[in-house]
Amino acid sequence: MDNIRITSGKYRGRSIKSPNSKLTHPMGAREKIALFNMISEFLLNSKVLDAYAGSGALGIEALSRGAKNVVFVEKSQRTINIIKQNLEELGLSNSAKTIVSDIKNFSLEDKFDVIIADPPYDSFEVFGIVQLAELLKDGGIFALSHPGEAPEIEGLRLQKTHKYAGAHISIYNR
């Protein structure tokens, strides 16, 4: 298992475990810092969805920076177990919910202030992203890591896109 460092906030410098698996691709530190610099003003006391959660690093970073709670969605039970372990070690279990589900089959009644989606680039599908966007509250922020140009997402307005190596990070709002 690899370790990932939390870059800012209450848990800055702490390490969390990342699954050593081809099924996950942790976001690079530079990209993660850039992403959170773009959305940090929206995190305080927010309800966040970490879609395609992987190690849970992005949702945990959101909690470290003041999010009220985070729902982590990941399709692998093994990976969800690692997220639960990370949350437990940081004392964040009460601020989080984990769900084992493929994004295509995922639905919730809840709406979120912030949605962070870092899907696998080798199987990137706009369909799943559009479904996630339906879970965003009015005035909410949707942060998407994606290959290539920013996809158009019905009901959302693209605010900005930044490119980092092969990754693009786009911020949308409703």
Rg of the chain over all Cα atoms, to the nearest angstrom: 14
Q: What is the pLDDT of residues 70-84, one digit of tens each?
A: 999 999 999 999 999
Each domain of the chain, given as residue ranges in start order, spans 2-20+27-173
Question: Which CATH number is correct for 2-20+27-173, 3.60.21.10, 3.40.50.150, 3.40.350.10, 3.90.650.10?
Answer: 3.40.50.150
CA angle, 101 then 70 then 56, to 5°? 65
Q: What is the pLDDT of residues 102-135, one digit of tens each?
A: 888 877 888 999 999 999 877 778 878 888 999 9
